[in-house]
Structure 1
Amino acid sequence: MADQKSNTNQRLTQIKDFLTMNKTASTIPWDPDCTIFPTRKELPQINGAPPEAAWVWGDNDYVGRINLLTPTRVQAAAKEIKTGEIVSVNLPLDVPNQPAFGREVFKHEIKVLHEDIAYDDIYHMNTQSGTQWDGFRHFAHIPTGTFYNHTKGSDIVGPAANQKCSIHHWAEHGIAGRGILLDYRGYAHKKGINYDPYDYYPISWEELYQCGKDQGIDIRPAAQGGDIKIGDILFVRSGWKEAYDQKSPDDRSKAALRHGSGLGGEDGQRYAGLSQEEKILDWLHDCYFAAVAGDAPSFEAWPTHESYHLHEYILALWGMPLGEMLDLEKLAQKCREKNRWIFFFSSAPANCPGGVSSHVNGTAIL
């Protein structure tokens, strides 16, 4: 009876798609070129996966939502280039001078090959000490200890280590698409909303909706009548870089070295970011962003006040690249000057087999 009902529903979907010229993702593995995808509440249960896992692109898939960056969508995104102005979103490699969460300080060494003739240089760095992509090996679904698409810690380190969820998969595919900036910090200044980006401050869905409305953008997915298209890349400016620039070097170091394990509710590391709430989860999932990114050491408000982290959903359950500490200051300024918040974006992750994460190496083109 269940199979008969499933076949009937599938047939109805096919008829509806024929009449509306759409293509619905209904059979796993999903076709990235589909135009209709399930909402978070409609996700199918994947055998052997945690609830709400969207491991839907195939057994050997390790790029997740990057699959949505199809040639058709990238070509359409290129049409957002109007003036050709290039804006880098990368902090200098030595910023912040003292990284948060106990990460190693960046070190740069000049190597003399031949005095006055030839030089090399050597970098010593943690890929997440500055502008970064959190790769799928970075953060697991904590209750099950599972990373994206059935990957375990034993796949990452130890005698059975392999290349599941390695960052090089992203590099081989490439990241390019339509970027959308929500300048929440600029909106907050405009509306007299005061908060410290170096303290816990959850930015709610309603606040982001009002921010988008102020910019002339309906942040709901296109399927719900909004302006967000499948495969868009989201950027949220919370103001961390603005606050960093206003601090003395000593205050920057003190803030970065606040005690904390990085996971507990008593974490001394505290930052503004997206709220852990159902509306945010539904929105991040249902928009089918290809990637999301912010300007703070944590994309989500830190530490979480809920029993879960957004990192678990974004990285482990949905396979969505997560960027942090992007320099969005110049981009926000340019977008505000032109009253254009949509642009073409490209990123070149490190082609490091077995790698966990990468600097973003990202560029917005207006």
Structure 2
Amino acid sequence: MSDPPSPTQRRLTQIRDFLTMQKTASTIPWDPDSTRFPTRQELPKIAGAPEEAAWVWGSDDYLGRINLLTPTRVAAAAKEIRTGEIIPVNLPLNVPEQPAFGRETFQHKIKVLREGAAYDDLYTMNTQSGTQWDGFRHFAHMPTQCFYNGTKGADITGPTANLKCSIHHWADHGIAGRGVLLDYRGYAHKKGIQYDPYDYYPISYTDLEACGKEQGIDIRPAAQGGDIKPGDMLFVRAGWTEQYHLKPSEERARLALREHKPGKESGQRYAGLAQEEKIKDWLHDCYFATVAGDAPTFEAWPTHEDYHLHEYILALWGMPLGEMLDLERLAQACRQKNRFFFFFSSTPANCPAGVSSHVNGQAIL
């Protein structure tokens, strides 16, 4: 349990909510329909949880920030549909041909039931080999080896394994709401900024702020006067998919098979969000329901800090994290229309005890 607010604090919150016509999340479990949520610096301390854990939706919660996708917010997000154009964001299941980090390649076999009349498919795949949601079982808070909401390794494998943080919880709820694209790769091309998405390149908060401004978006949280509302789903285009399709197959395989090891010298190197305090504050305080990018890692890889953003996003804050989404068509359409908000839906795999899932997602403009 967290330390309860003092009577004075409660009274001040009530007065502020009355004056601003808002509703502040102040009592755990938080009401997901609240209009104001604590900043990263205001997070309550939760007994038995790591520092900065936002395990605030209930002791048996395995949805995390998906809780913010309430009927009210989903209905409001539907108003972003203007033309009805559907843009899937899923790479083919066999892309990349050679996955990074030593993951297994996708295998597809057609099973003949009756020649010329009936067939089945047989898939063999690692759900982390292409367009994917990292589930809460995927990456722990390393110092404590805690997954989201106190889940441990013994809950995932072994004789005491159970369904804590299973991906099927997301499938039971569903994912749909308002998406926002920050097309950093497009911004970089326009401004003459050169970088290789297949190498370590940290995209800072200042970079994203400038990208948003160029797109006509104030990327600050609505509570701070910006355009990002609680429950929005973030998509950042860093350019990996663009480069993947420009490289010959042999070069793609060579880069995917670079040595993966701990530390700054890891051969696996990708552009992504900077691991900095401003990025952590922003990702937390915007109260995104989900975050996603187009590279094999969401953050710049390898980390140059003593932590990974994965630890904060997944284990501490309970925010679904998407990787290797195909944002090329979406970026092109958003730039043509000069509109970077849209309706987004995703159907994670209903796999009890599952760790992750392909996104199975689409934007509707």
Q: Which amino acid counterpart does residue 149 of structure 2 have in structure 1?
A: N
TM-aligned CA deviation for residue 217 of structure 1: 0.3
Q: Which amino acid counterpart does residue 18 of structure 2 have in structure 1?
A: F
TM-aligned CA deviation for residue 19 of structure 1: 2.6
The C-alpha deviation readout for 1:315-354, integer Å capped at 9, x for no partner, is: 0000000000000000000001100100000000000000
- Judged with a 3 Å threshold, the aligned counterparts in structure 2 of structure 1 residues 164 and 202 are, in CA distance, closer, same or farther, namely same
Q: 2:289 and 2:59 mapped to 1: Cα distance?
A: 19
Q: 2:357 and 2:324 mapped to 1: Cα distance?
A: 12
Corresponding residue of 2:170: 170
Corresponding residue of 2:314: 315
- Judged with a 3 Å threshold, the aligned counterparts in structure 2 of structure 1 residues 254 and 44 are, in CA distance, closer, same or farther, namely same
TM-aligned CA deviation for residue 267 of structure 1: 1.4
- Judged with a 3 Å threshold, the aligned counterparts in structure 2 of structure 1 residues 7 and 363 are, in CA distance, closer, same or farther, namely same
Q: Which amino acid counterpart does residue 101 of structure 2 have in structure 1?
A: F
Q: Which amino acid counterpart does residue 156 of structure 1 have in structure 2?
A: I
Corresponding residue of 2:133: 133
TM-aligned CA deviation for residue 18 of structure 1: 2.1
Q: 1:212 and 1:57 mapped to 2: Cα distance?
A: 30
Corresponding residue of 2:331: 332
TM-aligned CA deviation for residue 265 of structure 1: 2.8
What SS is found at the alignment partner of 2:6? helix
Percentage of identical aligned residues: 78
Corresponding residue of 1:205: 205
Corresponding residue of 2:281: 282
TM-aligned CA deviation for residue 264 of structure 1: 3.1
TM-aligned CA deviation for residue 21 of structure 1: 1.5
The C-alpha deviation readout for 1:47-77, integer Å capped at 9, x for no partner, is: 1000000000000000100000000000000
Corresponding residue of 1:106: 106
TM-aligned CA deviation for residue 12 of structure 1: 2.0
- Judged with a 3 Å threshold, the aligned counterparts in structure 2 of structure 1 residues 194 and 165 are, in CA distance, closer, same or farther, namely same
Corresponding residue of 2:184: 184
- Judged with a 3 Å threshold, the aligned counterparts in structure 2 of structure 1 residues 171 and 4 are, in CA distance, closer, same or farther, namely closer
Corresponding residue of 1:292: 291
Is 1:356 the equivalent of 2:355? yes
- Judged with a 3 Å threshold, the aligned counterparts in structure 2 of structure 1 residues 355 and 4 are, in CA distance, closer, same or farther, namely closer
The equivalences for 1:181-260 within 5 A come to 181-260=181-260
Is 1:145 the equivalent of 2:151? no
- Judged with a 3 Å threshold, the aligned counterparts in structure 2 of structure 1 residues 5 and 114 are, in CA distance, closer, same or farther, namely closer
- Judged with a 3 Å threshold, the aligned counterparts in structure 2 of structure 1 residues 346 and 9 are, in CA distance, closer, same or farther, namely same
What SS is found at the alignment partner of 2:133? strand
TM-aligned CA deviation for residue 188 of structure 1: 0.2
- Judged with a 3 Å threshold, the aligned counterparts in structure 2 of structure 1 residues 158 and 238 are, in CA distance, closer, same or farther, namely same
TM-aligned CA deviation for residue 144 of structure 1: 0.3
What SS is found at the alignment partner of 2:108? strand
What SS is found at the alignment partner of 2:111? strand
Q: 2:5 and 2:348 mapped to 1: Cα distance?
A: 44
TM-aligned CA deviation for residue 125 of structure 1: 0.1
Size of the aligned set, in residue pairs, is 363
TM-aligned CA deviation for residue 7 of structure 1: 1.3
The C-alpha deviation readout for 1:280-330, integer Å capped at 9, x for no partner, is: 000000000000000000000000000000000000000000000000000
Q: 1:89 and 1:241 mapped to 2: Cα distance?
A: 11
Q: Which amino acid counterpart does residue 208 of structure 1 have in structure 2?
A: L
TM-aligned CA deviation for residue 227 of structure 1: 0.3
Do 2:263 and 2:304's aligned partners in 1 also have CA atoms closer than 8 Å? no
Structure 2 gap segments, 5+ residues each: none
- Judged with a 3 Å threshold, the aligned counterparts in structure 2 of structure 1 residues 4 and 311 are, in CA distance, closer, same or farther, namely closer
Q: 2:218 and 2:82 mapped to 1: Cα distance?
A: 21
TM-aligned CA deviation for residue 37 of structure 1: 0.3
TM-aligned CA deviation for residue 14 of structure 1: 1.5
What SS is found at the alignment partner of 2:336? helix
Corresponding residue of 2:25: 25
Q: 1:14 and 1:33 mapped to 2: Cα distance?
A: 16
The C-alpha deviation readout for 1:187-221, integer Å capped at 9, x for no partner, is: 00000000000000000000000000000000000
Q: 1:43 and 1:86 mapped to 2: Cα distance?
A: 38
TM-score (norm 1): 0.98
Q: 2:67 and 2:353 mapped to 1: Cα distance?
A: 20
Q: 2:360 and 2:4 mapped to 1: Cα distance?
A: 50
Q: 1:5 and 1:274 mapped to 2: Cα distance?
A: 34
| Structure 1 range deviating more: 9-18 or 70-79 | 9-18
Corresponding residue of 1:37: 37
Q: Which runs of 4+ in 1 moved over 2 A?
A: 263-266
Do 1:260 and 1:266's aligned partners in 2 also have CA atoms closer than 8 Å? no
TM-aligned CA deviation for residue 5 of structure 1: 7.3
What SS is found at the alignment partner of 2:80? coil
TM-aligned CA deviation for residue 4 of structure 1: 10
The equivalences for 1:117-128 within 5 A come to 117-128=117-128
TM-aligned CA deviation for residue 11 of structure 1: 1.8
Q: 1:5 and 1:98 mapped to 2: Cα distance?
A: 52
What SS is found at the alignment partner of 1:123? strand
Q: Which amino acid counterpart does residue 302 of structure 1 have in structure 2?
A: W
| Structure 1 range deviating more: 11-20 or 347-356 | 11-20
- Judged with a 3 Å threshold, the aligned counterparts in structure 2 of structure 1 residues 117 and 12 are, in CA distance, closer, same or farther, namely same
What SS is found at the alignment partner of 1:79? helix
Corresponding residue of 2:50: 50
TM-aligned CA deviation for residue 13 of structure 1: 1.0
